[in-house]
A = this chain, B = another copy of it.
């Protein structure tokens, strides 16, 4: 289809690939993790201290075994999701230390907030997977909070969820809890029940937590996003193509490790690289460069026949206002149209990742619904066009009472849950609320109406006992 966004030709993508290969071969990537270095060494990679150098053939070999699509299994089999090719998932926000209140006040997030977001995901028509660390609870001990997050993820929501990449030990504990939920480690070894986020440290590094988690998760058949977040002009080149080459080098380094650990381990090509704001030096995720990078990322992932990840409903605004709406819609729509498969941060993020907002969550959620509806194909068959009906209604006629309208209106036309279509009089009578104020009311209603999904009481007991034992131990 004609598109005013830049399409990369094969030759251009090859240029980006070649630049990445040059960087990987001559500059290399630091892996701050002993086993990672051992694995590379064992496979004949050149190593200098913690720097690993990659030959193109090694990367090509890894790319051969990466699956182009996979299924993530949910506790409720009806909610399994497919990731790759035409299939995509909306996943909520990730990593926010704060919550922005409906009054615009920033407060530290709590475990109750985390649970609330699990509940909203569970009852969401549009969010396909539960997240991880949607907020960072400030009222829980840092060392063990990942256990509580895992427990909430499994108990409060029956959708597939994101896993715990806090550290190698944390990843293992997440795997053990998943094994309890699925009735044994062998049950999840060949079927991913989680997707975990492994971030590089740009430029060209992986931390011990990330590399260690990646090794454990790949080894146990769990899916990982391998992602780069470059700030153009700060932690990477100021040009979009330079960012593409640098992030590609980082992602492919991680992908190569994953396939050395286990051939066929499901991994996702990920990026939320964006720009630095030149006035403040801070990361801007409302920047148009984010969407431009999303488009490049989607194209490069497809070049490698890999599933892809990007944000998301992202914004720099600290309030669910028009700016938040515009910036989030542009980025989320770009990701969804251009073929991203795993849309992290689809819902809730404000202020360049600093906070989640319940009201923004509901707004973004409706955006997800709008966007998915926009992708519905229309038959464009003679039957569906139905020129006979148009001729029979004729000049100056009306279609409102036509049987076909009655029959099809509920499937053809999107019904909003949140967005207002009131006229001025009705809006005035309803108190002239902005949509963020309407969302505030709906959040309370949604949480009040929440019902916990059923779970085998034995599994719940074992999970709770596991968490308690780890905390005491």
Contact = CB atoms under 8 A, between A and B. Distances in A.
A328 interface: yes
Contact of A205 (B22, B320, B396): B396
Contact of A326 (B326, B352, B374, B414): B326
Given A27-B390, A240-B378, A339 B4 contact: yes
A391 B1 contact: no
B319 A325 contact: no
Interface stretch (A148-156, A190-198, A399-407): A399-407
Given A370-B288, A390-B245, A424-B354, A278 B238 contact: no
Contacts of A323: 325, 363, 418-420, 435
Interface in A1-43: 1-8, 12, 15-16, 19, 22-23, 26-30
Nearest to A316: B421
Nearest to A20: B387
Contact of A385 (B233, B241, B394): B241
A415 B279 contact: yes
B286 A413 contact: no
Interface string A306-320: 000000000011111
Contacts of A432: 104, 318-319
Given A236-B399, A324-B325, A409 B278 contact: yes
A371 to B, nearest CB: 8
Contacts of A76: none
Contacts of A373: 288
Nearest to A29: B395
Contacts of A375: 4-6
B333 A235 contact: no
A233 B387 contact: no
B278 A415 contact: yes
A327 interface: yes
B390 A19 contact: yes
Given A2-B298, A246-B390, A395-B29, A409 B233 contact: yes
A23 B317 CA distance: 50
B27 A391 contact: yes
A291 interface: yes
Contacts of A352: 421, 423
B239 A384 contact: yes
Interface string A234-274: 11111111101110010000000000000000000000000
A386 B20 CA distance: 11
Interface in A208-227: none
A205 B394 CA distance: 10
A281 B400 contact: yes
Nearest to A327: B419
Interface string A329-341: 1100110111100
Contacts of A371: 288, 330
A152 B155 CA distance: 65
A337 B3 contact: yes
B19 A382 contact: yes
B238 A23 contact: no
B423 A354 contact: yes
B238 A405 contact: yes
Given A338-B2, A363-B326, A242 B321 contact: no
A298 to B, nearest CB: 7
Among A242, A289, A373, A397, max chain B CB count under 10 A is at A242
A436 B373 CA distance: 28
Contact of A317 (B98, B234, B245, B420): B420
A399 B4 contact: no
B419 A316 contact: yes
Contacts of A292: 374, 376, 378
A443 interface: no
Contacts of A324: 322, 325
18 contacts: A3-B339, A8-B380, A201-B396, A232-B413, A240-B378, A277-B421, A278-B413, A279-B421, A284-B421, A322-B435, A323-B325, A323-B419, A325-B325, A326-B363, A326-B419, A334-B374, A337-B337, A351-B424
Nearest first, the 3 closest Cβ-Cβ pairs linking A and B are A325-B325, A322-B325, A323-B435
